[in-house]
Amino acid sequence: MRVLFNGITLLKPRTGIAHAAAHLHAALVAAYPADTFWLYPGTTVSRIASHFFRPSGPTAASSRPTPKAPHHPRRWRQLLHAATQTAYAAHFHTIARCGSFDLYHEPNFVPFRTHLPVVVTVFDLSVLLFPQWHPAERVKAHEAAYHQRLAFADHVLVGTETVRAEVQKYLGVAAERVTAMFCGVDRRFRPQPAEAIAAVRAKYQLPPRYLLYVGTIEPRKNVGLLLRVFCSLPAVQQRACPLVLAGGWGWKTDTERELFDTQARHCGARHIGYVPDADLPALYSGAAALLYPSFYEGFGMPPLEAMACGTVAVTSTAAAVREVVGSHALTIDPHDEAAWRHVLGRIATEPDFLADYRRRGFTHAATFTWEACAQRVYRVYRRVLGQSEATPPRYAA
């Protein structure tokens, strides 16, 4: 089997979707060496492109954005974007046509139309269900693309049964054409030694205990709640366990930025910006708790990663997140500020408050593996191609 796997999202600093695509691809390659999973755009183009997408280092305590590139007239930016997209599409179609592939997997929502059978991954439907949380141009593009291009997809992969039901209900995809693949947790997420935790604390100038949020700051992540709740805590609790935000500022975050700049940072909150992959395990391991108050998610990877590192997760009751963490994390209504305030206050003053969740979460996170995810995806590939059940993967022996 020769699979064309679109890895274009892997060229930029990686967030959730890109991480999932990278881990799935690596697991497929490791498990099925007799097959080919060719990662577009290839090593040469990827190496060249990587020089243009370097993540920035840790930010200062202020949330002021990084200076932008020199201004160009909007019309020229639009023309440049259109030309880039046209070149990308032309190059992809050339590869698909000339590569002797059997199947094309698009891990980033919207597939190209090619002559190949198509499997597409849809992690969530937030753009369609909650357009107010996204930039207008993204909403416009996805509204057309979802229905037009998913119609010719042979199979749709989703992260959870929650999103599987949504895809059937809102996009009209038949149940037999949608599979929940359940992402894994990379093995590097495990409890870290004291020296690794100390090194990360020193690098980001963090205190011995802190409350942690990991992810891009955008409306559906509900970071404003964390900022308001933290600012309302007594000063002694703020000093005992400050709030640390690890992730870049996304779209529509003017309110959160203003709240951080005018209040939260003066109460001891920190914004350390995008954190490289190598630092995340120790950052999780050193936290008193991982806070994840999202209104909506398609999966929710940070809670599982934190749990795998031996850190308790406190999450919202968003359906997909609750499906993933089960009863092994403390879940709170994302609108209930009083409940979040109570829990954050107890974490700050009672280090053993959530010790039982810490033990249970660690065991639960170990059940999510990329090997198992790859097996489920590989079975979908074979089903789409009309092939019989696959032999066990190499690592299953």
Domain containing 283 equals 194-365
Indicate whether 98 and 132 sit together in one domain: yes
Indicate whether 209 and 354 sit together in one domain: yes
Indicate whether 68 and 156 sit together in one domain: yes
Indicate whether 163 and 213 sit together in one domain: no
Q: Please report which confidence band the pLDDT of residue 369 belongs to, taking 50, 70 and 90 as the band edges.
A: very high
- Domain count within the chain: 2
pLDDT digits (tens, 9 = 90+) for 295-320: 999 999 999 999 999 999 999 999 99
CATH of the domain at 37: 3.40.50.2000
Cα(51)–Cα(358) distance, rounded to whole angstroms? 40
Range 73-80 average pLDDT: 66
The reported pLDDT for the residue numbered 200 is 98
| Residue 88 clears pLDDT 90, i.e. is over it | no
| Residue 395 clears pLDDT 60, i.e. is over it | no
The reported pLDDT for the residue numbered 68 is 47
Q: Which of 45, 47, 48, 54 is nearest to 14 (CA)?
A: 54
67 DSSP assignment = P
Of 239 and 43, the one with more pLDDT: 239
Per the domain annotation, does 126 fall within a domain? yes
Q: Please report which confidence band the pLDDT of residue 136 belongs to, taking 50, 70 and 90 as the band edges.
A: confident
Our CA angle for 237, 269, 258, nearest 5°, is 130
Per the domain annotation, does 51 fall within a domain? yes
Indicate whether 202 and 307 sit together in one domain: yes
| Residue 49 clears pLDDT 70, i.e. is over it | no
Phi first, then psi, for residue 211 (nearest 5°) are -95, 135
pLDDT digits (tens, 9 = 90+) for 170-186: 989 999 999 999 999 99
The model's pTM is: 0.86
